Amino acid sequence: MKMRPWAEFASTLPSDQIDSEDEMDILQYPGKLLSETLAEILKGLGYEIIELICLHERGWELLIRGGPKGRSAFGIRVTQIEKYLIVLFQTSWFRTTFAPRHPDLVAVLTQLAEAMASDARFIDVRWFASEEVLSGIPGALRPIEP
């Protein structure tokens, strides 16, 4: 199974970057509105939203919990370069190391991809493996391939 936890896309959501009056500093980095939108979608899919964290120039991180027993923890990092770039990951070091394709991660990736594909706010969503992201290849339509 090939798993692509990175997605790149455009969005109809308005830019939410807030600059200082002299435009020399960024007071709010872009991606908060997108993170809140993803949180809303994931909440509708039955996931618990734990926290939204500002990572400053690196963007935003959304922490969620869910899965069949409700115990799996995931993070989604959101950043905006030209387009939006997100990555979904397991927060457990043990699972990342010993179960990188854990069924709960596959499930949340699949559910999120389906929700984004059917939502007009997300445009031209393409999924990438870690070694493919920002490489210039066109990306896949789905995050999981057999």
> What value does the mean pLDDT take over residues 15-43?
90
**28-42, 94-108, 130-144: lowest mean pLDDT where?**
94-108
Q: What is the pTM of this model?
A: 0.89
Domain-by-domain residue ranges, the chain? 2-145
Write the CA distances from 30 to 17, 42, 101, integer angstroms. Answer: 4, 20, 30
pLDDT, residue 94, reads 62
Q: Mean of the pLDDT values across residues 125-137?
A: 94
Across residues 47-53, what is the average pLDDT?
95
Sign of CA dihedral 83, 88, 91, 93: negative
**Statement: residue 37 has pLDDT above 90:** yes
Higher pLDDT, 103 or 50: 50
pLDDT in tens, 69-123: 667 899 999 999 889 999 999 887 666 676 667 788 999 999 999 999 999 999 9
CATH number listed for the domain at residues 2-145: 3.30.310.80
Residue 5 reports pLDDT greater than 70 = yes
Angle among Cα 12, 58, 17 to the nearest 5 degrees reads 45
Residue 14 predicted with pLDDT over 80: yes
Residue 59 pLDDT exceeds 90: yes
Length of the chain: 146
Average pLDDT, the chain: 90
Judge whether 61 and 42 are in contact, CB under 8 Å.
no
